[in-house]
Amino acid sequence: MRVVLQRVSRARVVVDGQVTGEIGPGLVVLLGVEQTDTDTDADYLVNKVAGLRIFEDVEGRMNVSVQETGGGVLVISQFTLYGDTRKGRRPSFDKAARPEPAKRLYEYFVEKMRQAGLTVATGIFQATMSVELVNEGPVTLICDSVRNSPSS
């Protein structure tokens, strides 16, 4: 499982002209699910995202998590995070999970983030979405689940 995190001052997602999710200060989480991902991958990334210290403390150092700030989290499904562009000019999405298991893990991730005490907004799974955000810093990070990390 892979996420791209962006620290934002505000963000929203629009589907068919309607805002489906909106946050103030917090994180935008673009979430990609790979075919072999399980609940364990999602659990790892929930803990990582919720606890990652990428917000500034009173001294201006990145030392505070989204949980500690009380910020919001906007989670957007993003199968293109598993696009392989190494061959040819058209990306291959063979590693991305099929829609049914991907949706289950996406919803599981969102629910676990809520259980962690975070205010979570979402897009709509498999919809064409317009994501608007103001990246603060800018701070953008990529996190993979434990199984996919270089140290595993």
- In this structure, what CATH number is given to the domain that contains residue 82? 3.50.80.10
pLDDT of amino acid 152 = 44
Q: Can you tell me the mean pLDDT for 31-36? A: 97
Prediction pTM value: 0.93
pLDDT of amino acid 23 = 98
- Rounded-to-integer distance, Cα 51 and Cα 68, Å: 8
Torsion of CA 25, 31, 37, 39, to 10 degrees: 30
Residue 74: give the domain boundaries: 2-148
Band (33; pLDDT cuts 50, 70, 90): very high
23 backbone φψ class: left, alpha, beta (φ>0; ψ -120 to 50): beta
Catalytic residue ranges: 78-80
Reply yes or no on whether the pLDDT at 146 is more than 90: no
Reply yes or no on whether the pLDDT at 150 is more than 90: no
Task: Give percent of the chain above pLDDT 90.
Answer: 95
**In angstroms, what CA-CA distances link 120 with 2, 5, 36, 105, 112?**
18, 14, 25, 15, 10
Reply yes or no on whether the pLDDT at 147 is more than 70: no
Band (18; pLDDT cuts 50, 70, 90): very high
As for how many domains the chain has, the answer is 1
